[in-house]
Amino acid sequence: MENLDIVILSTIVTTLFAIFIGLTIKELNRAEMGITPSQESGPRANLTKFMGKLFDSPPLTKEQADKKLDVYETVYRTIADMESDGVYFPDEVKKELIKKREELYCEYSSLPSVKSYE
């Protein structure tokens, strides 16, 4: 009776393994016969559907779609202007910015230097 705990544990593991094998074989047989599972209807599936409905947007009317497109085009044009026709600084200002950056940040670690805290 010394090894009773090992015997009980082995019995439990063997039983669970047999159940797993049986259910796996059952599902494989259902797949071979062409039976597909129906739509899920458990609490988890219902919660997922509910959350999906919360974030669905209603269909847009023609006026709303045009307004959204106008806003998108305006923002896109502004971003394109910033990339191509953005603010240009003279060379003296660029050199001064580079000099300040070298003073304020450490060269090898890119962390703020002591001067940046003063």
Each residue of 24-57: pLDDT tens digit? Answer: 998 888 878 876 667 777 788 888 888 888 888 7
pLDDT at residue 9 in the model? 94
Task: Give residues with Cβ within 8 angstroms of 105, minimum separation 6.
Answer: 111, 112, 113, 116
The domain ranges of the chain are 1-34
Q: Is the pLDDT reported for residue 21 higher than 90?
A: yes
Task: Give residues with Cβ within 8 angstroms of 60, minimum separation 6.
Answer: 68
pLDDT at residue 89 in the model? 62
Listed range (6-20, 77-91, 101-115) with the worst mean pLDDT: 77-91
| Pair 112, 105: CB distance under 8 Å | yes
pLDDT at residue 7 in the model? 92
Task: Compare 89 and 113 and report the one with higher pLDDT.
Answer: 113
Please give the DSSP secondary-structure letter assigned to residue 61. Answer: P
The closest of 48, 51, 52 to 39, measured between CA atoms, is 48
Rounded to an integer, what distance in angstroms lies between the CA atom of residue 6 and that of residue 93?
79
Going by pLDDT thresholds of 50, 70 and 90, the confidence category of residue 16 is very high
Rounded to an integer, what distance in angstroms lies between the CA atom of residue 71 and that of residue 65?
10
User: In this predicted model, what pLDDT tens digit does every residue of 79-105 receive, in sequence order?
Assistant: 554 544 455 566 787 788 778 877 777
Average pLDDT on 110-115 reads 74
